[in-house]
Amino acid sequence: MNVYFFSDYAPNTQMLEELGGSITEQFEDTISNIHRENHEIVFTEDRIICRQQIKICHTIPADSIVVLDGSILLQDAWLKAGVNTLLIPQIKQEVGKWGGILFKYCGLLQVHRIEVSTSEWTSTTSAVCAEKIEERMALAVK
């Protein structure tokens, strides 16, 4: 099965092993206009080449695996387009020897659906709301 990786960063060695050793293609630029046409998913990549913005239209098979390092809105767009498998890299922060922050890969999480919920927290500070939303998203994602 084809594996497409959407991230600014190179894939982790452990991630590559979990995906069977290879990635079909990596996209590092901004992705938009994700939709389905028959058995393919179509999307636009905004790439800057020689100080000019170029829009490139791509198609991938709908039965592909998409590994996405992106926002919840982007994840939702891929699910609505009908991608077969959507995987999200899970990263945890660790403090290094000299106090710097290290990001450690700790696995892939498959997303089946994203639900929007309203709550009594809408009038509280954004930091508290963001924390509660993350908790609910973790429960909604398997």
Q: Report, in angstroms and rounded to the nearest whole number, the Rg of the chain calculated over CA atoms.
A: 17
What integer pLDDT is reported at residue 58 of this predicted model?
Answer: 96
CA 50 to chain centre: 27
pLDDT tens digits for range 8-21: 888 889 999 999 88
101 φ/ψ angles, rounded to the nearest 5 degrees: -95, 130
In angstroms, the CA 22 to CA 61 distance is 17
pLDDT at 128 over 60: no
State the pLDDT at residue 133.
Answer: 60
Q: CA–CA separation, 45 vs 30, rounded Å? A: 6
Would you say residue 104 has pLDDT above 60? yes
pLDDT digits (tens, 9 = 90+) for 15-43: 999 998 889 999 999 999 999 999 999 99
Please check whether residue 56 is in contact with residue 72, taking contact to mean a CB–CB distance below 8 angstroms. no
CA distance 133 to 119: 10
